Every structure is written in C-alpha cells, then in structure tokens.
Structure 1
Amino acid sequence: MSQQELGKEKGVSLTIIGNYEIDLNMPSLETVLKLSKLFGVSVDFLMGEFDKEVVRRIEDIEILDKGTQNHLFFLIDNVIQNYKIRQAFA
C-alpha cells in the first residue's frame, strides 16, 4: 500500500503519513490501533518492538521457491502440531 493509498484510507494527508515514517510526527494511539488492524500486525510491531531475527528468517523464506516454501511450512506445521500434542498431555 502506498502512502497516498494509506492517507486516503485513513483520511490524512500524504505529508502526515510521510512524517510518521521518518519520525517527525507521532500518530495518536487511536491511529496506531487503526493502523495495526488495517495491516494485521500488533501495535508493538508498528512501534518497532519485534524480534528482528524472526523477521530476518521470514524474509529468507520469502525468497525461496514455492516448492521449497511448501516443504518448509509442512515441516513447521508438523513441529507445531507435535508440540501442541505434547503440551496437551503434559
């Protein structure tokens, strides 16, 4: 989504959106909550509080071909399923 599209979606100017990105202005808490819902991310993520190692790994996965991604997701799903089963019987 471009800054212009975001500004139109939220009813604010392109300048305000740009100023948010370069830390000249800070959005209100209400705006941060709306943005987190719009993008489907946590407020912490929007504020830069996230695990950079996890993001790096996701970026690495994104460059893999679809077949390799699907294989990796299959493995991850199995590990998660096994973990949940162990937790259920712990």
Structure 2
Amino acid sequence: MVAMQSKQWTIEISITEDDEDAVTTATATLFASGARRHESVAYARRNPTDRPVPGIGDELAAGRALSDLAAKLIEDGAEDVAQLAGSIRAR
C-alpha cells in the first residue's frame, strides 16, 4: 500500500471598500509550502441607484478573485502537463 502525502495550501482573502461603498476590492493570495504562489485581485461595483449592502460586494469580489485564482492554477497545471508531454516525446 502506498502512503499518501499530505499538503496544505492556504488562501488569504483581503476585502476593502471605498468610502462610498461603491467599489469593493478583494485580493486572494495563495500560499503553498509557506511561500506566496499566486495573487488575484477582483472588484465588485455597486450600481449608483442601488442601496449599499456591503456583504453583497464582499461576496461578488471575493468570488471573482477566487475564480481568477482557480483559472491561474488550472493554467499552471496545463502548462506543466504540456512541458512533461514535450519532454517525453523528445526522448
């Protein structure tokens, strides 16, 4: 039986809002093996005619930042697979 290796990655999300609660900014940072690996920044903008509900902007901005972070990880994996496939073909 093969022993499984366990790893832990941490994502930190920082959220800020402008003074008018019109723009929410979320920064999602991925830490892998204790080192910063990726950072994604995303925004949510409130329609000026809507009443301010900061929680909605938080959710939208954080979700968008996490989505961008996920896309970066998928791109990393695809590039690694392509490089590995290229090195196997070169043999």
Give the TM-score taking structure 2 as reference length. 0.33
More strand by share: 2
| Structure with more relative contact order (C-alpha pairs < 8 Å, separation 6 or more) | 2
Give the TM-score taking structure 1 as reference length. 0.33
